[in-house]
Structure 1
Amino acid sequence: MKESMGSRLFFKLLPVQIMIVAMGSINSIVDGVIAGRFIDATTVGVIGLFGAVNFVLSAIGSVLLGGSSVLSGRYMGSGDLDKTRGIFSLNITITTIIGMVVMLIGFAIPKVVADICGANAQLRDTLALYIVGFSFGIVPQLLAQQLSAFLQLERQSKRNYIGVAAMIISNITLDIVLVVIFNMGILGLALSTAICNWIYFLVLVTYYIFGNAQLKYNRKNILWSDTGELIKIGFPGALLVFCLALRDLALNRIVLNYAGQDGLSAKSSLGMVGGLFIALCLGTGAVVRMLASVNVGEEDKDAIKELIKIASTKALLLSVLITVIVLAISGFVVGLFFPDKTSNVYKLAYQYFVVYDLSIPLIIVVQIQTNYLQAMKQNICVNIFSIIDGFVSVVLPSVILAPIIGIFGVWLATPIGIVISAVVYPIYAIIFWRRVPQNIDEWLLFKKDFGVSDDDRIVFNVENASDVSSTAQKAQEFCTEKGFDKKTAMYSALCLEEMTRNVVEHGFTHDKQKHYLDARIVKKSDEIVLRIKDDCASFDPVSMADQISPEDKTKNIGLRMVMKLATSASYQNLLGLNVMTITIKQ
């Protein structure tokens, strides 16, 4: 499959999202291994019980991150940088306030929180101690989750990589120092995680303090009016996490009933490492939501179709590869937590790992579906999706199967549940249209007033200088066919030719990398809209035109011509892409 600019952008954003998901799992694996080998196997179960708190924190982060990502994407897609900055300031303010409140709850009533997590009398005090230590790092944990997404909009993926690496290295080091050397037990594990959250946050936030960030925090610029919309958009993601928390609590009780402490430890071990197994799935979902939100803001049906195609083919094939790898290493991974391969807990954990692994390809399908629906503002469906996928689809099979085949019924409920979740989207599409969708546009829920019709737009991929002239000629023919006069058609072709030639001659040759240039021409009533995207080094022709001295009539003649012929022109850097929009009225 030939790589396109959309494919390149997708896989440029994907590694960061995978690392963000994998980071938490890697830290959990380290904590689990240290707990299982240097404290006791019961501690692994205690950390597993704390998963309910992590689900709550994830729910909070999902509301803020989901709503902010979609709104930021829409505003960036429509070219409104001021509102994008307002969403950034709103996000950081709300995140800080909520983080402080949750932190104080953890400090003040840790035993109450432990009871809510399902701890029995023997585990209550131990879990409460872990909660106190962990609470110290809640504020930076929530803030770092938000900043990591905004940094991608700033083209600062390397800082995310550095932050993730710093967090993982510091977590391993601190676990060894606090638990193995100083023998601080479960409190040492909690403090290690909290300190690592601070380290990760500080690596990220320094860009907004000392760097040249586009998204500046300004309390006067907080877009309070969008708070309700942000929560409304982000709520489905939070509802899913909330349902997952309830599912975790329900399954913990079922597992304890049918497999005891060994079953809980086996389940908890997968909870620690499972995020690593499905990091590709969750990362793909996050990228789909981010890019689809921008494309929805632009009402670009072609880009949305390409995005879904990339996710449903290339990313899905990668998930199959991950499934094979996980199947091969499951025994080794389980052995990290439970060294005695003859023990009951090892056998239960290995069994669960293998069954769970078979669900991975369908998990990525569900992630693509839910995140796309969220970007398309299909909130009712996403809420239904969250309840089914997060709770009903797994708990119901567990309740039915556990009395019949024991703990294996609980393990088997995961692949059964993901199959149930995967059919929600097609059922919703049929309900949405009140019939079976007839084409890809209908399956993607495009209403008639979304974007422009296929006949009123044309897209070109420009790869070299020879493409520039042919593209300009085809553009002029397109404008003429759509009823525009000769002057408008010629102006459109000239502007397109000049701007694409500039990219090919200067952007393509700036470095040794392969670059991409897409030119889109759209007919809108009495005007032609040219949108030119490239992935070359940042270059703002609009600002440059403003800075050119009027006395120097020989400099940048082509750029001067474009600005003179265009009715309006705007530039923005969108997720690392140069986006030039030119409007020419008849």
Structure 2
Amino acid sequence: MKKNSDLLGIESISKLLVKQAVPASIGILVMSLNMIVDTIFVGRWIGPLAISAITVVIPVTFFIAAIGLAVGIGGSSVLSRALGSGDNDKALRVFGNQITLTFLTSGVLAVLGLIFQDFLIEFFGADESFKDLALTYYRIVLYGIVMLAMCMMGNNVIRAEGKPKFAMYAMLLPAIGNIFMDYILIYVFDFGMEGAAWATFTSYAICFTFIFWFFVAKSELRLVTECFKLKKKIVNEISALSFVTLARQGTIAVLTILLNNVLIIYGDAIDVATYGIISRMLMFALFPVIGVNQGFLPIAGYNYGANKFERVRESINTSIKYSGILALGIFIVIMVFAPNFVSIFISGREGQDAETLANNAELLKRTPNALRWVFAATPVIVIQLIGASYFQAIGKAIPALLLSLTKQGFFLIPLVLILPSFFGVWGVWISFPIADVLSTVVTGYFLHRAVKKELKE
């Protein structure tokens, strides 16, 4: 009897990509909507400075959660190729080691994050105007961050098994739970930042419960105790590929810290809130492109492991075509409707104090043009995303790492350090499209060369 994973090497690439990408896209959409609604509730019911507070907390929670994402994506590349070659015993051991690595690493980082919370919040860019709000949110969210890391890892394993619908459910259920709890705790009970934080904690618990149920009741991967014991060879193989994602996510965390501090130096807390809105819009608006990229990974990895190189080539071309069309549509919508998107985050309630009203007006004035600049090169980014993911899917850790770091690490961080000294806050926003174009040129060159040399029957 054929397993779900076998279909990755049989069905048409277009059909597989739709089957993998649509659930991934829906899951990412709901997860990003969760972040958007969370920010809307905080901005409208607490104030713009609360958005600034959440923005400076994101780097540490993002990085710890990235441990699970990195082990999930890197380990699932190994797992996909093991399933493709018929080595089920290795697949089980890889998954068991993924669980152990994620739990231990994220647990240690969570404890350290709580011990050094005051230092970290200031280091991440909080000033006195919103530091207390940031600490309130940070402490509660960090209590549940290990659950989030485990969820990020497990979600990628579910996709590697060829069951993307369950991966979608794993993102859908906690997002709905978070939105519901936000409404209850912030609006109904008026718990402010504590309410926002406990709503987020609850969403982590819901996701963890669902993924635990999946691997007990629905998964093809039936683990025994021996699988959880770390094996040096498997850990090294997972780590080599996980480091790609971890370096990319870690670079994003460093970039966020840098942006928060640069925006405080050349601007103020409202500029930090502007970036908080933009960062959520990036994930929300690009959800279908990211979904295609997520769907591409197991297809390319499985077929590469099965030596079906023509199918790997087809998966690259089809993924770029589909995601390119989607990216162009996203670009047009953002350019036209930027002010409409920003206005959603701003309260229209009567009875607000003068400072909050002034902050709302400034946020609405500054953010739309900043949003347009950040999205200015959206149509070309698909080549960079698919190109970097290809090398990760086939187990080429070093090229995957370097290409994953091209935008944020090699181009965007230096530009953010240099341009604001000449152009102020505007220099931050124009750094994004410049980095997008440069990283796409570099990645496109290496992807083209690799396909010509490596993907031969």
Please state whether the residue corresponding to 1:111 is helix, strand or coil.
helix
Does 2:240 match 1:238?
no
Give the match for residue 97 of structure 1: 104
Give the match for residue 272 of structure 2: 264
Out of 438, 447, 453, which is 1:446 matched to?
453
Give the match for residue 227 of structure 2: 221
Give the match for residue 413 of structure 2: 395
Amino acid at match of 1:357: F
Aligned runs of 1:186-225 on 2, under 5 Å? 186-209=193-216, 211-222=217-228, 224=231, 225=233
Post-superposition CA distance 1:450-498 (Å, at most 9, x none): 664xxxxxxxxxxxxxxxxxxxxxxxxxxxxxxxxxxxxxxxxxxxxxx
Aligned runs of 1:98-497 on 2, under 5 Å? 98-209=105-216, 211-222=217-228, 224=231, 225-339=233-347, 343-428=361-446, 442-444=449-451, 446-447=453-454, 452=457
Deviation at 1:368, TM superposition (A): 0.3
Post-superposition CA distance 1:203-262 (Å, at most 9, x none): 2221222x2421123221246230011111111121111111111112222222222122
Q: Quote the Cα distance in structure 2 between the aligned partners of 1:132 and 1:107.
A: 7
Post-superposition CA distance 1:539-575 (Å, at most 9, x none): xxxxxxxxxxxxxxxxxxxxxxxxxxxxxxxxxxxxx
Asked whether the equivalents of residues 111 and 124 of structure 1 are also in contact (C-alpha less than 8 Å), the reply is no
Deviation at 1:166, TM superposition (A): 2.2
Asked whether the equivalents of residues 281 and 360 of structure 1 are also in contact (C-alpha less than 8 Å), the reply is no
Deviation at 1:428, TM superposition (A): 4.0
Q: Quote the Cα distance in structure 2 between the aligned partners of 1:204 and 1:329.
A: 37
Asked whether the equivalents of residues 59 and 239 of structure 1 are also in contact (C-alpha less than 8 Å), the reply is no
Please state whether the residue corresponding to 2:222 is helix, strand or coil.
coil
Asked whether the equivalents of residues 63 and 230 of structure 1 are also in contact (C-alpha less than 8 Å), the reply is no
More deviation in 74-83 or 388-397?
388-397
Give the match for residue 75 of structure 2: 68
Does 2:41 match 1:34?
yes
Give 1 or 2: higher strand fraction: 1
Post-superposition CA distance 1:279-308 (Å, at most 9, x none): 223222222222211122112111011101
Asked whether the equivalents of residues 25 and 274 of structure 1 are also in contact (C-alpha less than 8 Å), the reply is no
Aligned runs of 1:1-16 on 2, under 5 Å? 5-16=12-23
Deviation at 1:339, TM superposition (A): 4.5
Amino acid at match of 1:381: P
Amino acid at match of 2:151: A
Does 2:65 match 1:50?
no
Q: % of aligned pairs identical?
A: 21
TM-score in terms of structure 1 length:
0.70
Asked whether the equivalents of residues 373 and 379 of structure 1 are also in contact (C-alpha less than 8 Å), the reply is yes
Distance 1:381 1:212, change over 3 A: closer
Post-superposition CA distance 1:428-455 (Å, at most 9, x none): 46xxxxxxxxxx6x441534xx664xxx
Aligned runs of 1:561-580 on 2, under 5 Å? none
Aligned length: 435
Give the match for residue 551 of structure 1: none
Please state whether the residue corresponding to 2:453 is helix, strand or coil.
coil
Asked whether the equivalents of residues 179 and 189 of structure 1 are also in contact (C-alpha less than 8 Å), the reply is yes
Asked whether the equivalents of residues 28 and 273 of structure 1 are also in contact (C-alpha less than 8 Å), the reply is no
Asked whether the equivalents of residues 60 and 113 of structure 2 are also in contact (C-alpha less than 8 Å), the reply is no
Higher relative contact order (CA 8 A, sep 6+): 2
Q: Quote the Cα distance in structure 2 between the aligned partners of 1:386 and 1:240.
A: 6
Please state whether the residue corresponding to 1:302 is helix, strand or coil.
helix
Amino acid at match of 1:185: G
Distance 1:162 1:230, change over 3 A: closer
Aligned runs of 1:505-584 on 2, under 5 Å? none
Runs in 1 of length 4+ with deviation above 6 angstroms?
none
Unaligned runs of 5+ in 1: 430-439, 453-586
Q: Quote the Cα distance in structure 2 between the aligned partners of 1:391 and 1:137.
A: 29
Q: Quote the Cα distance in structure 1 between the aligned partners of 2:28 and 2:56.
A: 20
Amino acid at match of 1:85: L
Deviation at 1:52, TM superposition (A): 1.0
Asked whether the equivalents of residues 99 and 142 of structure 1 are also in contact (C-alpha less than 8 Å), the reply is yes
